[in-house]
Amino acid sequence: MSLFVLLKLIGSLALLMYGMKVMSEGLQKMAGPQLRHVLGAMTTNRFTGLLSGALVTAAVQSSTATTVMTVSFVNAGLLSLAQAISVIMGANIGTTLTAWIMSAGFNFNMGDVAFPCFILGIILIYSRSSGKKSAGEFVFGLCFLFLALATLRSNAADMDLGHNQDVLAFFEKTGQWGFGSTLLFLLLGGILTMCVQSSAAVMAITMILCSSGALPIYQGIALVMGENIGTTITSNIAAMTGNSQARCAALAHLVFNVFGVIWILCIFNFFVNTVCGIVGYDAILASTDKAYAQSHADLLNYVLPAFHTAFNVCNVLILIWFIKPIERLVKRIIPQKANDEDEDFRLRFITGGILSTAELSIMEARKELNHYAERTQRMFGLVLELLHTEGEKDFAKLYARIEKYEGISDNMEVEIANYLNNVLDGRLSSETKIKIRAMLREVSEIESIGDSCFKIAVSLNHKHKNMHDKEDFTTDQLRHIEQIMQLSDDSLSCMYKVLQTGSGSDAMASFNKETELNAFRDQLKNLNIDDVTNNKYSYQMGIYYMDIVNECEKLGDYAINVVEARTDMKEKKQ
């Protein structure tokens, strides 16, 4: 085999992987929200979850995309672990369609279809509609896939592996190891898939080797089984930075495929022979009669996807009844942490590239923003508690805690904004760009809320340290501060509801609270001038008092800015 033919093979595989990636991303951009809706809604029981996983994977042509998406849903709390396991099982069935597409590519000249389709793709790409552009990307990806399959088909003929003595000698030698040979090729399939991060590429190599007559069907099927295990590594890597539930979902994917491989190994020859018999290929005769193997080698392009489908369907039929035991097993392997307050800085939902496309990464950022807002409101609750804390030690401890929250707030702003900017660098629809810009504004305003909370705490701390003759807020001042802080807390609660629901009624409630805050701030401002003039308290105490009042009003302004960012985004979307 010449160097040029080898490079052509590697280039064809690269084109195949790129084509599948572009095709999958184009589909996800066209139907991203719908895909999320399908996965979120069609999981009422194990069978609907199974169906949704199969349909989404068949649509996007990537079990990895579906699995990683599902792990992210678990991480975000949108799916339970049991629901995720059923979706992952469905994804294993859906991914078998890829093998059948490749089988068709090896038996028919897909290159004749690819080039005319490029014309359609370029027309769609240069259209003004973002939906048509995404459709154009899908068509281009599909054309690249067909072109890669056509090139691989011609490469297989050029390499003539069926008459390459070195290749034949290697496979003949390893084929004599019996069960050890099956384990060897199982391991090779897993390692290759982990390295290239594409089971489709390894399936293409397997089809080339088998259809050329170089690789016996038993070793080829062992490679396919290894691919099923190797492809689970991506989701496990993606879940490493997620919460324990996300890691459990990824581990369940691995457990599912490992169990399937184990029981297939127990009846390996029987199962392979049965599948071959259904296709019309005599595996036993082919192992002893080389002439028969060579003349019927083309059938192996159907045997491999048939085995892949039979393996995954049978595995699902067995394990669909054992979702709860699988859930208990993975939870036992991965310790479950208690859901405490967790005041150490750690993003809960954004896990660094956990999703395969920018469009679907929006969900992570949205959940993280809601968590950020919730954490900021918790910080304001601590400030309200600080107002009534008297003991020196207790006051210092609570103030340090609020100061820690301020540092966490600053870090969260930077991390979420960086994540959104990274998403913005990807290929996005105009609708998604509007979403991200609105979310970047929300991040900035929520951080400003945290700043206001800390400034109120600083004013209370200064008052606590610099009280002259133990002067404190008067009863009226304390009552007014409590009232305006309660209005601010109500404003934050309305803002949080808008972030969760996006409803117009919640947004209107936020604007009403802001009006109350402004009016009450103006009232207290005028009252403060009269009280200082009448010597009800010192001028310095009036400064501390108005600093708190003004920051509470500013906090309400920032909350309204968050609401406006969300509602503006919704109006533009509509």
Q: For the chain, list the domains and their CATH numbers.
A: 3-333 (no CATH), 358-573 (1.20.58.220)
Q: Is the pLDDT of residue 352 over 60?
A: no
Q: Is the pLDDT of residue 570 over 60?
A: no
Residue with tokens 């966490």: 408
From CA 466, how far away is CA 529, in angstroms rounded? 21
Q: How many Cβ atoms from other residues are within 10 Å of residue 176's Cβ?
A: 9
Tokens representing 490 are 């109500």
> How sure is the predictor about 167, in pLDDT bands with cuts at 50, 70 and 90?
low
Residue 43, burial from CB neighbour count under 10 angstroms (0-12, 13-18, 19+) = buried
> How sure is the predictor about 52, in pLDDT bands with cuts at 50, 70 and 90?
confident
Give pLDDT, residue 572.
43
Give pLDDT, residue 548.
94
Give pLDDT, residue 340.
42
User: Average pLDDT of the chain?
Assistant: 80
| Cβ–Cβ under 8 Å, residues 203 and 304 | yes
Residue with tokens 């890669």: 148
> How sure is the predictor about 371, in pLDDT bands with cuts at 50, 70 and 90?
confident
> How sure is the predictor about 341, in pLDDT bands with cuts at 50, 70 and 90?
very low
Give pLDDT, residue 181.
84
pLDDT winner (highest mean) among 18-32, 184-198, 346-360, 487-501? 487-501
Tokens representing 375 are 């954490």
The whole-model pTM stands at: 0.64
Using one digit for the tens of pLDDT, what is the confidence trace for 500-526?
887 767 788 889 988 999 999 999 999
- For the chain, give percent helix, strand, coil, nearest 5: 85, 0, 15
Give pLDDT, residue 560.
93
| Cβ–Cβ under 8 Å, residues 423 and 365 | yes
| Cβ–Cβ under 8 Å, residues 306 and 316 | no
> How sure is the predictor about 561, in pLDDT bands with cuts at 50, 70 and 90?
very high
Cα maximum dimension of the chain: 112
From CA 364, how far away is CA 353, in angstroms rounded? 10
Say which residue, 244 or 481, is predicted with more confidence: 481
